[in-house]
């Protein structure tokens, strides 16, 4: 196994399950020291399973929809490692799936809070540290859903992540900081331990959700969802030194769907 992250301090958000947990596992296997952030207590269990003699893996419960939560995570990383070599912003995900005119005002705000602000806040909190230490890498997790149906607020949030990636890369490059992103497509994963939407779905809700499944599958060249491993690998590559001449880019990982 490659040791691309030996001696590197890495923060992964949204690490309690799904893509975030898969990314954390890869980086731990490659020698990285990790701080896993999530608002679910399950993040501590993930950290425990990844801790070995080779890697130090810590966890921190935080609400990254607030700047205070993001700052607390970055402060914990500083206290634990004394530096932040890599920040992987993975928090986000559609809460509802329905035509835009069917979204309530509070639901629209909740989608933006969930899928844009955690990346904005955590990046802002970490940036000063990276500038002071003379470099670092920020990997944002966006989505090919910037062109999709039945999740316009989520698409807008991830479009904001793409714009953040492109714009901040220009500002941060003189400080030795790379800012990149992947845009995952549909991804097969175990049922979420903490669902984004706890309400029981109506028959109409199920039909709207099925429409995005059908569109996502049809828009890929392979006519299937990707795996967690297929999403984690590009993120880990972009976070590594092997991608040292890549910045400002958003890499679609959607089986040919460019988003």
Q: For residues 12 and 84, is the Cβ–Cβ distance under 8 A?
A: no
Instruction: State the average pLDDT over residues 100-111.
Output: 98
Please give the Cα distance from 37 to 13 (Å, whole number).
5
Overall number of domains in the chain? 1
- Res. 2: pLDDT tops 90: no
User: Do the domain assignments include residue 259?
Assistant: no
Average pLDDT for 154-163:
98
Which tens digits make up the pLDDT trace of 13-54? 999 999 999 999 999 999 999 999 999 999 999 999 997 656
**Which CATH number goes with the domain that contains 103?**
3.40.50.720
Q: How far is CA 236 from CA 146, 227, 232, 252, in A?
A: 22, 15, 6, 14
* 83 pLDDT tier (thresholds 50, 70, 90): very high
- Residue 232's nearest CA partner among 251, 205, 206, 214 is 251
Q: What is the pLDDT of residue 117?
A: 98
pLDDT of residue 53: 55
Predicted local confidence at residue 230, as pLDDT: 98
Quote the percentage of the chain above a pLDDT of 70: 97
More confident of the two residues 225 and 192: 225
What pLDDT shows up at residue 194?
A: 64
Element spanning 231, H or E: helix 228-239
Does position 66 have pLDDT exceeding 60, yes or no? yes
Max distance between CA atoms of the chain, in angstroms, equals 54
Structure confidence by residue, pLDDT tens digits, 168-207 = 999 999 999 999 999 999 999 877 666 666 778 899 999 9
Q: Is residue 242 part of a domain?
A: yes
Quick one: tokens of 180?
């990149």
Task: Say how far apart CA 164 and CA 149 lie, in whole Å.
Answer: 23
Query: According to the model, what pLDDT value does residue 259 have?
Result: 85
Residue 101 lies in a domain: yes
pLDDT score for 195: 65
Q: CA-CA distance, 182 to 163, in Å (whole number)?
A: 13
pLDDT value for 51: 75
Q: Cβ(67)–Cβ(123) under 8 Å?
A: no
- As a whole-number percent, the residues of the chain with pLDDT over 90 amount to 91
- 182 in any annotated domain: yes
Angle formed by the axes of helices 18-29 and 42-50, to 10°? 20
Instruction: Please indicate, yes or no, if residue 50 is contained in any of the structural domains.
Output: yes
198: three-class secondary structure by DSSP = coil
Question: Which position among 103, 117, 154, 225 bears the catalytic label?
Answer: 154
Query: What would the mean pLDDT of 42-71 be, rounded to a whole number?
Result: 91
Mean pLDDT, range 97-109, rounded to an integer: 98
* Residue 154: active-site member: yes
Domain membership of residue 121 as a residue range: 9-251
**What is residue 199's predicted lDDT score, i.e. its pLDDT?**
77
pLDDT at 54: 64
Q: What is the pLDDT of residue 171?
A: 98
Residue 256 covered by a domain: no
The single-letter DSSP state of residue 54 is S
Residue 179, beta-bridge partner list: 138
Task: Give yes or no for residue 94 having a pLDDT over 60.
Answer: yes
* pLDDT beyond 80 at 103: yes
- Is 3 among the domain residues? no
Task: Indicate whether 205 belongs to any domain.
Answer: yes
Segment 118-139 mean pLDDT:
98
Which letter does DSSP use for residue 253 in this model?
Answer: E
CA distance 72 to 64: 9
């Amino acid at each position: 196994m490659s040791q691309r992250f030996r001696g590197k301090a890495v923060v992964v958000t949204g690490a309690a399950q799904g893509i975030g947990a898969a990314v954390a596992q890869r980086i731990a296997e490659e020698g990285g020291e990790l701080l896993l952030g999530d608002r679910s207590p399950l993040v501590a269990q993930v950290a425990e399973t990844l801790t070995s003699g080779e890697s130090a893996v810590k966890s921190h419960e935080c609400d990254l929809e607030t700047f205070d939560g993001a700052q607390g995570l970055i402060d914990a990383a500083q206290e634990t490692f004394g530096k932040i070599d890599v920040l992987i912003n993975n928090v986000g995900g559609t809460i509802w799936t329905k035509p835009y005119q069917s979204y309530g005002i509070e639901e629209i705000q909740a989608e933006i809070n969930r899928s844009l602000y955690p990346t904005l806040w955590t990046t802002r909190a970490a940036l000063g540290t990276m500038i002071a230490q003379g470099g670092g890498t920020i990997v944002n997790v966006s989505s090919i859903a910037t062109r999709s149906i039945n999740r316009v607020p989520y698409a807008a949030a991830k479009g904001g992540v793409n714009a953040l990636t492109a714009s901040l890369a220009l500002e941060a490059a003189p400080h030795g900081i790379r800012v990149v992103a992947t845009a995952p497509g549909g991804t097969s994963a175990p049922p979420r331990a903490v669902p984004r939407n706890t309400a029981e779905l109506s028959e109409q809700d199920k039909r709207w959700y099925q429409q995005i499944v059908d569109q996502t599958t049809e828009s890929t060249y392979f006519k299937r969802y990707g795996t967690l491993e297929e999403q984690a690998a590009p993120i880990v590559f972009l976070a590594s030194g092997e991608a040292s001449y890549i910045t400002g880019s958003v890499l679609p990982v959607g089986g040919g769907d460019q988003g």
